[in-house]
Structure 1
Amino acid sequence: MASTSKRKVVLITGATGGIGKATALAFAKEGCYDLALHYNSANEQTRNKLATEIKDVAESSSINFAFFQADLGNYDSVRQMHKQATCELGDIDILFNNAGSNGGQSGVQSLADVPIDVFEQSWRINTGSGILLAQLCLPHMEAQGWGRIIFDSSVAAFTGGVVGPHYASSKSAQHGFVHWLANNVAKKGVTVNAVAPALIGGTNMIGDASDEEAQKKIAQRIPVGRLGRPEEVAETVMWMVKVAYVTNKVIGVDGGYYPH
């Protein structure tokens, strides 16, 4: 097992969204991580706001972080983003594949309503790019005998969900990959897991849920009676990073929605 004294580098995809932002701040509070923060289309104002929040909560004034743009539907863009991040911050020790897309479609009522191209693009963004990043990051993790790979899945992978078949099928594909890879690298000091949130406030996956009345209706489906908070997903991710005996798991963060 390699020494754990050096600062670890964390790559978070979709870092400017609700869960990505909460997770970036959770790592910043620890003070021993440098952050490679991916974004697709977030404007400069959004990125600057997150940068200010990171500086405000960071335990260490020496924390390094930088933003890296990539279209996760384009594998060449993903490769370039990984290259830029490692050149600037160093090899990736922790990969949080958080970014996701509903393809602009939610509340789908018929399979016929989702073009096959939307399925393909959803898979690339939600699953394929995460697998590619795992391929790119694993050699360093295996060489040092320590690494963490975490996917942000969804309760939709268990239940079908409320977004649509393109989204649910892309998320369930993550689970099969997690199980295979976790077994493959378990003896190499690398853990592989996923979080599976239900309906989380501050995300854009649940259609018109920005409307207060719609949120109340959605919350009624959750046993605890409310939407989840991005910080609750972030804390689960941090637990997965810290506990080396947790691997090959898909942990629901869903307010009791799906018992398993």
Structure 2
Amino acid sequence: MSNPEEILRGKLVLITGCTGGIGQSTARAFAKHGCSVAIHYNSSSSKDKASQLIAELTKNPGVRAVAFQADLSHYDAARVLHAQVVKELGPPDILFSNHGVTGPRIGPEGDIAAVSPEVFEDIWRTNAGTHFLLAQLCIPYMQQQKWGRVIFTSSVAAGTGGVIGPQYASSKAALHGLMHWLSLRYCKEGITANVVSPALIEDTAMMSNPPESVRSKIPIGRLGKPAEIAGIVILLASNGYMTNKNIVADGGWTIGGF
């Protein structure tokens, strides 16, 4: 059986939200396995992080890395991002669609009236709509070469309701239905589709300083580490028999998948 490095070496992965904790850790893991990386970041404040990540990744032999800025709350920005990646590095073999926003943090006891339909739709466009569009743009090349990987970052909130709000939980749950359809449609063409659903990962903007009431929900007694999520993503990218799956990494919070 081939090892992950043999399978992944020379592939190009597009990672959205790449300057966050999970994105950076996953980029490092892919680069160590010989993948080139298209680094997406959202705001200009993350430009320096992207530059530092390029310098780090390209120390790996044969690895190329280029950074691309895009506000993925807009469909046109997703189209431009994909076009720029193809122009600079080529079409992606692997899409790790990892970007997302929370919207209002009203908590599990909040009032639904605090989230307007307009805000709800904005969060869905970012957390589900542009993920769909990037998959739509990347899959034709994957079909041509009879090999591809589509991996979405969801959240344990998709199965539990979470601690943020209905707009976040429902937008993440939408990725699961999208993944199921993509997998069933394209798996016979060598394209797998999967979801990873983390809970409460340290070194991320979402969980920069969680209260004890949040920490106490994790049976294992600690927050997850970005590298632990990166390991799951590498597994999903390197295993051609694993598709149509939601891998929940939540320290024991939930029982089974969803």
TM-score (normalizing by structure 2): 0.92
Equivalent residue runs for 1:159-174 within 5 Å: 159-174=160-175
| 1:7 positional shift | 1.5
Checking the alignment, whether the CA contact within 8 Å between 1:28 and 1:54 is kept in structure 2 is yes
In 1, the alpha carbon distance for the partners of 2:40 and 2:234 equals 18
Match of 1:28? 31
Equivalent position of 2:41 in the other structure: 39
Alignment-derived partner of residue 142 in structure 1: 143
Could you report, residue by residue, the CA deviation over 1:47-95 in whole angstroms, capped at 9, with x for unpaired residues?
2222233245x2x1x3111011111111111100100001110111000
Amino acid at match of 1:221: K
Corresponding position of 1:95: 95
Return the alpha-carbon distance in structure 2 between the equivalents of residues 259 and 247 of structure 1: 20
| Structure 2 unaligned residues grouped into runs of 5+ | 1-6
Q: Give the match's secondary structure for 2:68.
A: strand
Which of the numbers 216, 226, 242 marks the counterpart of 1:230? 226
1:252 and 2:248 matched:
yes
Q: What is aligned with 2:3?
A: none
What CA distance in whole angstroms lies between the structure 1 residues aligned with 2:112 and 2:157? 16
- Asked if the contact 1:127–1:171 (Cα under 8 Å) also holds between the matched residues in 2, the reply is yes
Query: How many Å separate the matches in 2 of 1:84 and 1:106?
Result: 37
Q: Note the alpha carbon deviations across 1:204-251, whole angstroms, 9 max, x for none.
A: 224xx526xx2x442221010000011111100000011111000001
Q: Which runs of 4+ in 1 moved over 4 A?
A: none
**Alignment match, 2:85:** 85
Amino acid paired to 1:231: A
Residue of structure 1 in register with 2:4 after alignment: none
Q: Matches of 2:50 and 2:18 in 1, distance apart?
A: 9
Q: Normalized against structure 1, the TM-score is what?
A: 0.91
Q: Secondary structure at the match of 1:195?
A: strand
Q: CA-to-partner distance for each residue in 1:137-184, whole Å, 9 max, x for gaps?
A: 000001110000000000000000001000000000010111111100
Q: How much is the aligned-residue C-alpha RMSD, in angstroms?
A: 1.7
- How many Å apart are 1:106 and its aligned residue? 5.0
Task: Calculate percent identity across the aligned residue pairs.
Answer: 48
* Maintained 8 Å contact 1:163/1:205: no
* Within-5 A mapping of 1:30-69: 30=33, 32-41=34-43, 42-56=45-59, 58=60, 60=61, 62-69=62-69
Q: CA deviation at 1:46?
A: 1.9
In 2: Cα distance, 1:40 partner to 1:237 partner? 21
Cα 1:241–1:110 change in 2 (3 A) is same
Structure 1 portions without partners, runs of 5+: none
**CA distance in structure 2 between the aligned counterparts of 1:115 and 1:18, rounded to whole angstroms:** 29
CA distance in 1: counterparts of 2:57 and 2:36, whole angstroms: 11
**Counterparts of 2:174 and 2:47, CA distance in 1:** 33
Q: Is the 8 A contact 1:15 1:21 kept in 2?
A: yes
Measure the CA separation in 2 of the matches of 1:181 and 1:68. 26
Does structure 2 retain, via aligned residues, the 8 Å contact 1:106–1:205? no
Alpha-carbon separation, structure 1, partners of 2:35 and 2:58:
13
Q: Which amino acid aligns with 2:228?
A: E
Q: How does 1:110-121 map to 2 (within 5 A)?
A: 110-121=111-122
Confirm or deny: 8 A CA contact 1:23 1:231 kept in the other structure.
yes
Give me the whole-angstrom Cα distance separating, in 2, the residues matched to 1:104 and 1:15. 23
The total of aligned residue pairs comes to 249
Structure 1 window deviating more from structure 2 (34-43 vs 146-155): it is 34-43
